[in-house]
Amino acid sequence: MQDQLDKCTECGACDEVCPVYKITGEPVFSAMSRLKTAEMIFYNKEIDDARKESIYNCPKCMQCESVCPEEIKITRLVHEARANLANKGIGPLEKHGIIIKGIQKKDNSVGGDPGKRLDWLDEEFIQKKSDTLLYLGCIPAYLVKDAAHATYHVLKKLDFNFMMLEEEGCCYTYLYESGRTDLAKQYFEKNVEKFSKLGIKHIVVPCNGCLKCFKYFYPDLLGKMDFKVSHAVEIIYELLKQRPELLNKVEQTITYQDPCRLARGEKITEEPRELLKMCGSTLEEAEKNREDAICCGAGAGIRSVFPKLSIDIAESLLKSISTKAIATSCPFCTFNLSYTSEKRNLEKEIIYFTRIILDSLE
């Protein structure tokens, strides 16, 4: 880690784009300050409560990394700092601990009733056999049910061969993101064993948290996986780009909000836009878009632990977008932006992208 820390020239470029620093105005919550705090943690130096909080209120949106001239892996350093605090028994925070206990008890990160995980499904569940698993994730299953419903039906209408799990459970990204890599490894192994027994070779997810977890966090702790991971937008784009005649034009003006983990993390920016255009949407770009898109403020555990901060960031983003309708390919963005729009009376309609596609297919 020291080689990464030594690269910093304190140019301040990262601070100019950090959503937490821009909202709070607190220097200790800036990206550059987080690097200094991480270094203090690595060398067992005492940190005050504000510095400790700064390690956990980072949404790991990668905006800082996207502008860093030295290409410092800032989000990785934040993760290592969280893991270091957890290993010392002084992290994560109390609220993280409550949610972690909930995950261990209910096998989901949002406190949902395990028996109601498939309540969004409007037909009888039939256990199919396939080496491709549609893994919906906790947020679509409980908080943004339309994302689960629409994604399932779009893939079904396009004759995509997949199976689902009646008892899906969590991907456990929250354990990893909080720094509890010891627990994360145990639960990751549990899922890998389940997938292996089912012969799963391909996991398709509508949730960006699940995407990053399966694609990067699992290999980080367990080594190379025997399955590949795709976001639903990748699969649906490949299925529809050769069959655009299946889509009816539903005209509307809409802004596509790029999720951090897809745009900056996976460089997936054009596929969702092309799909929306194929459905008849007229796109009006946000001032900051694609790899420069502004974070919604929900990721890496801050929505659950620092809800006001998360909502303040989301409000700032929503006010920067002129259209009423906003589409996104992240269920967490959908949830946080929808919640914020309602609570702050912003009159925005946030739509998970597969809903637009499903409406166009029908």
- Give the chain's mean pLDDT: 98
- Give the model confidence (pLDDT) of 109-166 as tens digits: 999 999 999 999 999 999 999 999 999 999 999 999 999 999 999 999 999 999 999 9
Last residue of a domain, one of 54, 87, 120: 87
Domain CATH code at residue 170:
3.40.50
User: Do 246 and 182 belong to one domain?
Assistant: no
CA 350 and chain centroid, separation: 16
Band (pLDDT 50/70/90 cuts) for residue 362 is: confident
Contact 250, 319 (CB under 8 A): no
User: Do 313 and 257 belong to one domain?
Assistant: yes
User: Do 139 and 258 belong to one domain?
Assistant: no
Last residue of a domain, one of 87, 115, 147: 87
CA 199 and chain centroid, separation: 26
User: Do 266 and 324 belong to one domain?
Assistant: yes
If one counts the domains in the chain, the total is: 3
User: Do 16 and 98 belong to one domain?
Assistant: no
Contact 133, 163 (CB under 8 A): yes
CA 25 and chain centroid, separation: 25
pLDDT at position 183 over 90: yes
Q: CA–CA separation, 238 vs 230, rounded Å?
A: 12
Q: CA–CA separation, 244 vs 273, rounded Å?
A: 14
User: Do 152 and 61 belong to one domain?
Assistant: no
User: Do 220 and 243 belong to one domain?
Assistant: no
User: Do 23 and 79 belong to one domain?
Assistant: yes
Band (pLDDT 50/70/90 cuts) for residue 106 is: very high
DSSP 163: B
- Give the model confidence (pLDDT) of 258-305 as tens digits: 999 999 999 999 999 999 999 999 999 999 999 999 999 999 999 999
Provide the domain limits for residue 158: 94-237
196-200 contacts at long range (C-beta below 8 A, 24 or more positions apart): 196/226, 198/133, 198/163, 199/131, 200/131, 200/132, 200/133, 200/227
Last residue of a domain, one of 237, 254, 285: 237
Domain CATH code at residue 32:
1.10.1060.10
User: Do 201 and 169 belong to one domain?
Assistant: yes
Q: CA–CA separation, 117 vs 136, rounded Å?
A: 10
User: Do 219 and 170 belong to one domain?
Assistant: yes
Q: CA–CA separation, 99 vs 7, rounded Å?
A: 35
Cβ-count burial of 248 within 10 angstroms (0-12 exposed, 13-18 middle, 19+ buried)? Answer: exposed
pLDDT for res 309: 98
H or E element in which residue 40 lies: helix 31-42
% of residues, the chain, pLDDT over 70 = 100
Model-wide pTM > 0.95: yes
